Chains A and B, each alone.
Chain A
């Protein structure tokens, strides 16, 4: 069964600095999808960025980028120029390939990110 591990329960970063959140996963599939979700205090789960495993190029969305290391099964999220509004719980998630019978998203336990002014 697939698993997703976020080894950092909490992290802090100074405003305007860069922070990297770690995520590792385990799967026997070669084609799959990875996501980072953000959950601010409002509780709303917001999609931050996605990565398709067959793409070597790392995904980027404005200040958010990933470092996808397929062989190492690692999928870290880098937040550049951290802002107070980035304070939230961040979840890493894995989704099975299309047409897989077990088409679920597996979520990690989350990393709570604090932004220090």
Chain B
């Protein structure tokens, strides 16, 4: 089975531009998570969905960030406008159920905002 798929793998953009990151979770998984990883702050949970519904977006840093999950097989994380401090690796992860079920991560998108 394919794992979690993220695109693009690398994104370089200029400050002020809109950035859209994409994620396809593992088929059958009902939870989807977006994380951001930086050297300074480590791995931070931004938002997560259950059955396509956003459950907790308290980690979204500010209104410039938005996430959607229009169906069970696709999610987007959008940054508009982007800023240099948004440079990070963004991971998408999915899991089946809660509790003991581990999250499976995608390969990440390395975002660089100039």
Contacts and interface: CB of A to CB of B under 8 A. Distances in A.
Interface of A: 33, 35, 37, 42-47, 50, 52, 91, 95-100, 102-105, 107-110
Contacts of B89: 43
B114 interface: no
B108 A107 contact: no
B110 to A, nearest CB: 8
Contacts, number: 54
A98 B42 CA distance: 25
Interface in B57-114: 89, 91, 93, 97-100, 102-105, 107-108, 110
A52 B100 contact: yes
| Interface range on chain B (Cβ under 8 Å from partner) | 20 to 34
Contacts of A95: 98-100
B93 A109 contact: no
B34 interface: no
**For chain A, what secondary structure do more than half of its interface residues adopt (helix, strand, loop), or is it mixed?**
loop
Interface string B44-60: 01001010000110000
A1 to B, nearest CB: 11
B57 to A, nearest CB: 12
B43 interface: yes
Contacts of A91: 43
The 7 closest A-B pairs by CB, nearest first: A45-B105, A98-B99, A98-B98, A107-B43, A47-B102, A109-B42, A33-B100
